[in-house]
Chain A
Amino acid sequence: MSYRTRKIINRIMLTISVITFLIGSFFLFWILGDVFLKGIRYINFSLFVELPKPPGVLGGGVANAIVGTLILTIVASLIGVPIGMMIAIAITEYHLGKLAWWSKFLTEVLTSFPTLIIGVFVYTIIVIPMKTFSALAGSIALSIIMLPVIAKSTEESLKMVPISVREAAYALGVPKWKTILRVVIPSASSGIVTGIMIAVARVMGETAPLLFTSFNNVYWSFSLTKPIGSLTVTIFNYATSPYDDWRNKAFASALVLAAIILILNIIARIYASKKGKH
């Protein structure tokens, strides 16, 4: 291939990339802009502190859903983060042969699994036996969705830690498990934390699996064994309702959720950029 043709092909590829980037950004900003413009007008103090009011009664808020989303996400993280990290450690640090292969395979399958089906799965194994929708079931569904993201990002981060660093610890008479816990994981921490943030941001936006698991609750609930409200399910219900007031609240809630997720993503980026410092 001559230099000229290569240059032309290069030009074409560059143009295509720029165009796709512009199209992508256009839709992204359109969606964000739309949510922002429609939502910002209905953001007010009571949205954050009050419970929902029945249709037709003006006022009220989605405080229970904000708290519900936080509870669901925190409990999901408490389950999903340690298990996901342990899977990654089993794969990268303890070359457990077949077991490692299977956990790798399963996490990869899980990544591409529709989250709706994960919701149905948790419905059959948790909700039916417990005979009730519950925050616990919702958290478990979210933790299953988090798992592969955490496992993958932790695995990548652990692999970035050079062997020489591990050997430095071994040579000092530090056992392998302590080396992993106190040298390898801290060295990989910025990558691991970034992965966790991205996973958290991802599950915060899930609706479908929650419809089958945590369902909804328009009252305050802090119990893991009872249904619980969440921002996404609230947005879903409000947006599809026939009441103008509810539809406006849906946009306001969407803006709140988008803001939380955006902030998490920004923190994750800042953390990721700290990688390799010192």
Chain B
Amino acid sequence: MDKIRVENLNAWFGFMHVLKNINLSFKEKYISAIIGPSGCGKTTLLRCFNRLHELSPGARVEGKIFLDDLNIYEKDVDPVIVRRRIGMVFQRPNLFSNMTIYDNVIAGYILNNKRLSKAEKDEIVEGSLRLAGIWEEVKNRLREYPSSLSGGQQQRVCIARALAVQPEVLLMDEPTSALDPISTYRIEETIRELKKEVTIIIVTHNMQQAARVSDETVFMYLGEVIEIGPTAEIFTNPKKKLTEEYITGKFG
């Protein structure tokens, strides 16, 4: 079943047309990777899924994106509600520096004034940190501030924070690009585990990463989708010449 379906999506920064007539779909509980050279529009596409793109000055979107049956660009759809259903992990860890690790994980509840009992909070914090594969490392440091954690640990707490509000879809924008190989390995493990829980769309410019974690791969080039297919196929037997050239490292 398709969790997200994109129809004739176009996006602009001012006069710059960065996404050109995108048509795509993402299957439920699949891990889909979006690959392509720098500047081809991967981040922009991801930010269209949770309606973050439109917040940039001068940014504009046209077209439809269906989350199940709901077109999230319909006039009366509140972007805030969309963002509660579609979580996001950014390229660089962006924990709230003035909140403890514990509060960061449940920030989605705290900041929306959702009342939770202590037991509920504890459960959500532990569950989310376990899902993000970092419970053992931080369980005795929950009252510390995030700056005491390494970048890789922070990024996994970011994943926990996104998971804590139980999104249906998790967007990840090059979540390991700022991390060392061991942290990267850990996060990739986590991503594979998460597949049972959520639909994941991950942007990466690391092709090995796409090959390692994803079921499906989308190849983008200059704001267009060139090819989409099962990851194994894209990497071993691409249909388009451009895809093959990118995969084999002729450009990038």
Which A residues form the contact surface with B (CB < 8 A)? Answer: 95, 162, 164-165, 167-175, 178-179, 182-183, 186-187, 189, 278
- A167 near B96 with CB under 8 A, answer no
A169-B96, A187-B96, A189-B98 given. 12 additional CB < 8 A pairs? A168-B96, A169-B111, A170-B55, A170-B83, A172-B107, A173-B80, A173-B85, A173-B112, A178-B113, A182-B111, A183-B96, A278-B98
CB-CB nearest in chain B for A174: B111
- B96 near A172 with CB under 8 A, answer no
Interface flag for B108 (CB, 8 Å): yes
Q: How far is the CA of A278 from the CA of B147 in the complex (A)?
A: 6
Contacts of A95 in B (CB 8 A): 57
**Distance from B76 Cβ to chain A, minimum over Cβ atoms (Å):** 16
- B145 near A179 with CB under 8 A, answer no
Subset of 17 A-B contacts with CB under 8 Å = A167-B94, A168-B94, A168-B161, A169-B96, A170-B55, A172-B83, A172-B87, A172-B165, A173-B82, A173-B84, A174-B112, A175-B80, A178-B111, A183-B111, A278-B97, A278-B98, A278-B147
CB-CB nearest in chain A for B97: A278
Interface flag for B27 (CB, 8 Å): no
Contacts of A170 in B (CB 8 A): 52, 55, 83
Which residue from B88, B112, B158 sits with its C-beta under 8 Å from A178?
B112
Contacts of B182 in A (CB 8 A): none
Contacts of B119 in A (CB 8 A): none
Which residue from B50, B83, B96, B113 sits with its C-beta under 8 Å from A165?
B96
CB-CB nearest in chain A for B148: A278
Binary A-proximity of B18-45 (CB < 8 A = 1, otherwise 0): 0000000000000000000000000000
CB-CB nearest in chain A for B79: A170
Q: How far is the CA of A52 from the CA of B98 in the complex (A)?
A: 48
Interface flag for B81 (CB, 8 Å): yes
Interface flag for B162 (CB, 8 Å): yes
Which residue from A164, A172, A189 sits with its C-beta under 8 Å from B162?
A172
- A167 near B83 with CB under 8 A, answer no
Contacts of B145 in A (CB 8 A): 278
Which B residues from 64 to 86 make CB contacts under 8 A with A?
80-85
Which residue from B57, B81, B90 sits with its C-beta under 8 Å from A173?
B81
